[in-house]
Amino acid sequence: MTELGEIGEDKSLLLLDDDEPFLRRLAKAMEKRGFDVMTAETVAEGKAIASTRSPAYAVCDLRLEDGNGLDVVEVLRERRPDCRIVVLTGYGAIATAVAAVKIGATDYLSKPADATDIVNALLSTEDELPPPPENPMSADRVRWEHIQRVYELCDRNVSETARRLNMHRRTLQRILAKRSPR
């Protein structure tokens, strides 16, 4: 559990994510750790909160239904330069991580990240790195998560997903039929 002294005087935290169940769970977990949580599900809501309330901390999803979470990061940076911002995404790539940090994000985490990983990233200082995750996903699990995400983005169309992943349709069907690896 995080001590309140580590968070500081201003405990305001903006959580921006379009995955409503994840957002609810994360908000509850962050409140238990001492943060005063504000939630938003769209870029427009996130910008409104960033402009009017300027939180001390923020966790922003990268891809949202109405745009890019980096737009909210820019507003946060303009309104409050000392804001600690973590960009959270299921589409982890070096290019997006670099873009997020250039715009002003403090850290960049790939989903699924738990509340402890997020708190560690939010509260880490410039010269210290947060500790590595206790139980990182296996390579098989990361591959499976990526395939599932592309499958969902292709509206559960096996042929289109196989084409985009550059794999045979039958191979993809076998992978989809199995349970997720641990």
DSSP assignments along 63-104, one per residue: EETTEETHHHHHHHHHH-TT-EEEEEESS--HHHHHHHHHHT
Lowest mean pLDDT among 4-8, 12-16, 33-37: 4-8
Locate CATH 3.40.50.2300 in the chain: 4-123
Mean pLDDT of 8-22: 84
If we measure between CA atoms, which residue out of 77, 69, 83, 58 comes closest to residue 18? 69
pLDDT of residue 165: 93
Which amino acid belongs to residue 16? Answer: L
Question: With 60 as the cut, is the pLDDT of residue 47 above it?
Answer: yes
Question: With 50 as the cut, is the pLDDT of residue 9 above it?
Answer: yes
Question: With 80 as the cut, is the pLDDT of residue 37 above it?
Answer: yes
pLDDT of residue 162: 95
Determine whether domain 139-177 maps to CATH 1.10.10.60.
yes
CA distance 19 to 122: 20
pLDDT of residue 92: 62
Percent of the chain with pLDDT over 70: 87
Question: With 80 as the cut, is the pLDDT of residue 131 above it?
Answer: no
Percent of the chain with pLDDT over 90: 12
Q: What is the rounded average pLDDT for all residues in the chain? A: 82
pLDDT of residue 157: 94
pLDDT of residue 40: 87
Determine whether domain 4-123 maps to CATH 3.40.50.2300.
yes
Tell me the per-residue pLDDT of 68-127, one tens digit each, with 9 for 90 and over. Answer: 888 888 888 888 888 888 888 776 666 777 777 888 888 888 777 788 888 888 887 665
Which amino acid belongs to residue 119? Answer: V
If we measure between CA atoms, which residue out of 67, 68, 85 comes closest to residue 76? 85
Question: With 50 as the cut, is the pLDDT of residue 1 above it?
Answer: no
pLDDT of residue 164: 93
Locate CATH 1.10.10.60 in the chain: 139-177
